[in-house]
Chain A
């Protein structure tokens, strides 16, 4: 076996020949390889595939992120109920373990598929691509992707969504946008959930909004309560507008054919 690179070991053999060296080593000399290789390039390539597929089908995909317990699933259940038959919706649920959340969504009649990430703390575009294949969302539907409850790692992983939506419950403290700025900076919409609890808390809504604006001056901020339904109409209007834009893209593409 070659002592420099180890080739020829492990029983490697080319048919009918003894293993021979065809390459030359500059013995033990190191060299520098200059790169600008994006570490997330693989994920970004899968995300681009997902985005192209979703756009071609006029599907509006939203990546919902929050810390655990901010009320993502409850909000989704209420949102789907409120959409009623007006809008086809389906859901990809991400959790480390259990399919509890997917079952909660299916109870509303909407199609849902669960991804269990095991030890993983976020969804990635590859997993979501397979889930989309399995789910086969109908054209012009709304696709909610509920990420693993975590305000850190999901910030780095594009799933191919049209918009990222961060849900902050008012029980969490108004400084969350400053503590976890990356996720707030990359989200288009902030939903301040559980506003029905405000009378019992010392949560300063104006300060929370100012903090969210400080890390992301462009985001839309909507206060909602999944429990009482307060603010849900504004959220549904936002969804309807975003969906109209996605569907218009599909019609335009069809007209161009």
Chain B
């Protein structure tokens, strides 16, 4: 919920800067290691946006894969979970490189 409120704060600031009065679509990027559950975000979104410039806006959520460095074979591999093992050598010592994204990617506005 507080993340949705942060999204709304950012939209309100942008509405002044970029002179728009209605948001039709919000596109967020939520990485697998961002500590955020996309469905929970979706649930809070409509409620928080109600009565604002983004009232009724469609919410798109992109969920990119994460990547990690295997400390054994030193390859960079794609991962979905923090506890994944290296798909190449099977080692479990993976150091996360990306996947913590929590960003607004795009707004469709009028």
* A 204-235 contacts with B by CB, 8 A: 211, 213-215, 217-218
Q: How many residues on A have C-beta within 8 angstroms of the other chain's C-beta atoms?
A: 39
- Note all chain A residues with C-beta closer than 8 A to B106: 32-35
Q: Smallest CB–CB gap between A144 and chain B, Å?
A: 22
Q: Are B102 and A40 in contact (CB-based, < 8 A)?
A: yes
Q: Are B109 and A39 in contact (CB-based, < 8 A)?
A: no
Q: Are B110 and A36 in contact (CB-based, < 8 A)?
A: no
* B82, B93, B96: most-surrounded residue (chain A CB, <10 A): B82
> Is B89 on the interface with A (CB-CB < 8 A)?
no
Q: Are A40 and B92 in contact (CB-based, < 8 A)?
A: no
Interface residues on B, range: 35 or more
Can you list 24 contacts pairing A with B, beta carbon distance less than 8 Å? A4-B21, A23-B19, A31-B109, A31-B110, A33-B108, A33-B109, A34-B106, A35-B104, A35-B107, A37-B104, A39-B3, A39-B10, A39-B102, A43-B6, A124-B2, A155-B35, A156-B3, A156-B35, A182-B34, A182-B82, A185-B82, A185-B96, A217-B93, A217-B95
Interface residues of A, Cβ cutoff 8 Å to B: 4-6, 23, 28-43, 120, 124, 152-153, 155-156, 177-178, 181-185, 211, 213-215, 217-218
